[in-house]
Amino acid sequence: MANETGRIEAFSDGVFSIAATLLVLELKPPAVNLPFWQGLVALWPGFAAFLLSFLFIGIMWINHHRLFQHVRRSDDVLMLTNLLLLLGVVWIPYPTSLMAQAVTRGNILDAAIFYNGSYLAIALLFNLLFYTTVRRGLVDREYAPVRHIARSYLVGPAAYGTCLAVTWINVPLSLAMNGAMALYFLLAPSLQGEAARE
């Protein structure tokens, strides 16, 4: 980790960990008027939203780390765009909470639009951070891995935009696509890196 970017990465790691921790605060105890296990099962929307969003935050942290492995120096614009991305990260617990509540109350469409729209905004912020590092010459000279990161990131806004559009047609499908995107961002950079080495 370069000294010049070390503080940015350390601060970012702290924000990612806090955002992931905040997700668990939205999990509620079982209702007292139900048997314990039945009450716990009734809370499944909250657990599902927690797991999905924890997965997203973890994968964003992994990709943030992958990108910063190639960032060799920082400037004010990089710090600002990184802060904007972190704003999106700490935002995640809020749409997650609304999504879990909507499943139990029945107004899932509006909450899903808000939820998927939040991830579209984060995908745009990730691309903004990436292109800031490239356009301002902040990445190292080993450019091939950075190109693989670029290919993965370019998919994000279009795919999350599609998830958002599908929400009006089929909410469960849009959420499943959102989960598939998380797996894509986890696996794609590694697979592209292996292909390049071969």
What ranges do the domains of the chain cover?
3-197
pTM over 0.85: no
**Of 186, 179, 188, residue with least CA distance to 160:** 179
The amino acid at 141: R
pLDDT score recorded for residue 144:
59
3-state secondary structure labels for all residues of the chain: CCHHHHHHHHHHHHHHHHHHHHHHCCCCCCCCCCCHHHHHHHCHHHHHHHHHHHHHHHHHHHHHHHHHCCECCCCHHHHHHHHHHHHHHHHCHHHHHHHHHHHHHCCHHHHHHHHHHHHHHHHHHHHHHHHHHHHCCCECCCHHHHHHHHHHHHHHHHHHHHHHHHHCCCHHHHHHHHHHHHHHHHHHHHHHHHHHHC
The 10s digit of each residue's pLDDT in 87-135 is 999 998 899 888 888 877 877 899 999 999 999 999 999 999 988 988 8
The 10s digit of each residue's pLDDT in 78-87 is 999 999 999 9
pLDDT score recorded for residue 137:
85
pLDDT score recorded for residue 168:
93
pLDDT score recorded for residue 198:
44
> Are the CB atoms for 71 and 78 separated by under 8 Å?
yes
* Residue with tokens 């970012």, as numbered in its chain: 12
Residue ranges in the chain whose pLDDT is less than 70: 1-3, 141-149, 188-198
